[in-house]
Amino acid sequence: MKELPYELSGDRHKAEYDPVSDKVLVSFLQMIPARRSAIDKHTAVSNGWYAWVWTFDDLLSHANDDPSDDSKGEYLIELGRTYYPGKPYDVAHDNGYSGVACVNGVFNVVGYGCFDNTGDDRYIISRTFSLA
Protein backbone atom coordinates (compact mmCIF):
# COMPACT_ATOMS: atom_id res chain seq x y z
CA MET A 1 0.00 0.00 0.00
CA LYS A 2 1.15 3.51 -0.81
CA GLU A 3 -0.09 6.85 0.43
CA LEU A 4 -1.56 9.00 -2.32
CA PRO A 5 -1.20 12.78 -2.54
CA TYR A 6 -2.69 15.01 0.12
CA GLU A 7 -4.76 16.65 -2.63
CA LEU A 8 -6.85 13.47 -2.85
CA SER A 9 -7.83 13.55 0.85
CA GLY A 10 -11.50 12.82 1.02
CA ASP A 11 -14.22 10.32 0.44
CA ARG A 12 -16.53 8.91 -2.25
CA HIS A 13 -13.90 8.91 -5.02
CA LYS A 14 -15.05 8.10 -8.55
CA ALA A 15 -12.57 7.99 -11.43
CA GLU A 16 -12.95 8.08 -15.19
CA TYR A 17 -10.37 7.98 -17.98
CA ASP A 18 -10.52 10.41 -20.92
CA PRO A 19 -8.88 8.86 -24.00
CA VAL A 20 -8.96 12.21 -25.85
CA SER A 21 -6.73 14.04 -23.35
CA ASP A 22 -5.12 10.85 -21.96
CA LYS A 23 -5.99 12.03 -18.44
CA VAL A 24 -7.82 10.59 -15.45
CA LEU A 25 -10.40 12.65 -13.55
CA VAL A 26 -11.25 11.69 -9.96
CA SER A 27 -14.42 13.26 -8.53
CA PHE A 28 -14.69 13.24 -4.73
CA LEU A 29 -15.81 14.86 -1.49
CA GLN A 30 -12.83 16.86 -0.26
CA MET A 31 -11.99 16.19 3.41
CA ILE A 32 -8.73 17.75 4.55
CA PRO A 33 -7.42 16.37 7.87
CA ALA A 34 -7.73 19.16 10.45
CA ARG A 35 -7.54 17.84 14.00
CA ARG A 36 -6.51 20.83 16.07
CA SER A 37 -6.08 19.12 19.46
CA ALA A 38 -6.60 15.81 21.22
CA ILE A 39 -10.06 16.91 22.39
CA ASP A 40 -11.21 18.55 19.15
CA LYS A 41 -14.13 16.63 17.62
CA HIS A 42 -13.51 18.15 14.16
CA THR A 43 -11.16 15.75 12.38
CA ALA A 44 -11.58 17.14 8.85
CA VAL A 45 -12.61 20.27 6.96
CA SER A 46 -14.43 20.16 3.64
CA ASN A 47 -15.09 22.90 1.12
CA GLY A 48 -17.15 20.65 -1.05
CA TRP A 49 -17.09 18.64 -4.22
CA TYR A 50 -13.85 18.51 -6.22
CA ALA A 51 -12.22 16.78 -9.16
CA TRP A 52 -8.52 16.00 -9.40
CA VAL A 53 -6.90 15.56 -12.82
CA TRP A 54 -3.79 13.52 -13.49
CA THR A 55 -2.21 11.04 -15.91
CA PHE A 56 -1.49 7.35 -15.38
CA ASP A 57 2.20 8.28 -15.14
CA ASP A 58 1.32 10.61 -12.24
CA LEU A 59 -0.41 7.71 -10.50
CA LEU A 60 2.40 5.25 -11.21
CA SER A 61 4.94 7.68 -9.75
CA HIS A 62 3.54 6.65 -6.35
CA ALA A 63 4.04 2.93 -6.98
CA ASN A 64 7.80 2.86 -6.48
CA ASP A 65 9.77 3.33 -3.27
CA ASP A 66 11.14 6.75 -4.26
CA PRO A 67 8.97 9.57 -2.87
CA SER A 68 11.11 12.21 -4.59
CA ASP A 69 9.39 11.55 -7.94
CA ASP A 70 5.80 11.39 -6.62
CA SER A 71 3.52 13.59 -8.74
CA LYS A 72 0.75 15.75 -7.31
CA GLY A 73 -1.19 15.55 -10.56
CA GLU A 74 -2.08 18.43 -12.84
CA TYR A 75 -4.87 20.41 -11.22
CA LEU A 76 -7.78 20.45 -8.81
CA ILE A 77 -11.21 21.62 -9.98
CA GLU A 78 -13.86 22.92 -7.59
CA LEU A 79 -17.11 21.42 -8.88
CA GLY A 80 -19.35 22.74 -6.11
CA ARG A 81 -18.62 24.58 -2.87
CA THR A 82 -20.83 23.49 0.00
CA TYR A 83 -22.32 25.91 2.52
CA TYR A 84 -23.43 25.15 6.05
CA PRO A 85 -23.76 28.45 7.97
CA GLY A 86 -22.95 28.09 11.66
CA LYS A 87 -21.50 24.62 11.23
CA PRO A 88 -18.14 25.11 9.53
CA TYR A 89 -16.63 21.67 10.05
CA ASP A 90 -18.65 18.62 11.01
CA VAL A 91 -21.76 19.02 8.81
CA ALA A 92 -19.98 20.11 5.63
CA HIS A 93 -19.23 16.48 4.81
CA ASP A 94 -22.69 15.92 3.33
CA ASN A 95 -21.88 16.13 -0.38
CA GLY A 96 -20.39 14.14 -3.19
CA TYR A 97 -21.92 10.77 -4.09
CA SER A 98 -20.61 11.47 -7.58
CA GLY A 99 -21.44 9.87 -10.84
CA VAL A 100 -18.75 10.36 -13.50
CA ALA A 101 -18.91 9.60 -17.23
CA CYS A 102 -16.68 10.63 -20.14
CA VAL A 103 -17.74 10.34 -23.78
CA ASN A 104 -15.57 11.69 -26.62
CA GLY A 105 -13.55 13.88 -24.26
CA VAL A 106 -16.57 15.43 -22.52
CA PHE A 107 -17.08 14.71 -18.83
CA ASN A 108 -20.44 14.73 -17.14
CA VAL A 109 -20.28 14.62 -13.35
CA VAL A 110 -23.30 14.55 -11.07
CA GLY A 111 -23.17 15.29 -7.35
CA TYR A 112 -25.28 15.98 -4.29
CA GLY A 113 -24.88 18.68 -1.65
CA CYS A 114 -25.87 22.07 -0.27
CA PHE A 115 -24.52 24.39 -2.95
CA ASP A 116 -26.17 27.70 -2.06
CA ASN A 117 -25.23 30.06 0.75
CA THR A 118 -28.44 29.56 2.76
CA GLY A 119 -27.39 26.15 4.02
CA ASP A 120 -31.02 25.03 3.98
CA ASP A 121 -31.51 22.98 0.83
CA ARG A 122 -29.71 20.06 -0.78
CA TYR A 123 -29.45 19.71 -4.55
CA ILE A 124 -28.44 17.23 -7.17
CA ILE A 125 -26.31 19.13 -9.67
CA SER A 126 -24.47 18.29 -12.85
CA ARG A 127 -21.34 19.74 -14.45
CA THR A 128 -20.39 19.10 -18.07
CA PHE A 129 -16.96 20.06 -19.42
CA SER A 130 -13.92 18.91 -21.36
CA LEU A 131 -10.36 19.01 -20.11
CA ALA A 132 -9.28 20.76 -23.30
In the sheet with 106-113, reading across from the earlier edge strand, the strands are: 96-103, 106-113, 123-130
Tell me which of 9-13, 44-48, 51-55, 86-90 is least confident.
86-90
pLDDT, the chain, mean: 80
What are the structural domain ranges in the chain? 7-33+42-130
User: Cα–Cα distance between 38 and 73 in angstroms, integer?
Assistant: 32
Tell me the C-alpha distance between 8 and 72, whole Å: 9
Please answer whether residues 56 and 63 qualify as being in contact, where contact means their C-beta atoms are separated by less than 8 angstroms: no
Give dist(CA 115, CA 103) in Å, integer: 26
DSSP H helical segments within the chain, as ranges? 56-60
- Side chain identity at residue 116, one-letter code: D
Q: How many residues are there in the chain?
A: 132
Mean pLDDT of 9-18: 87
pLDDT of residue 80: 85
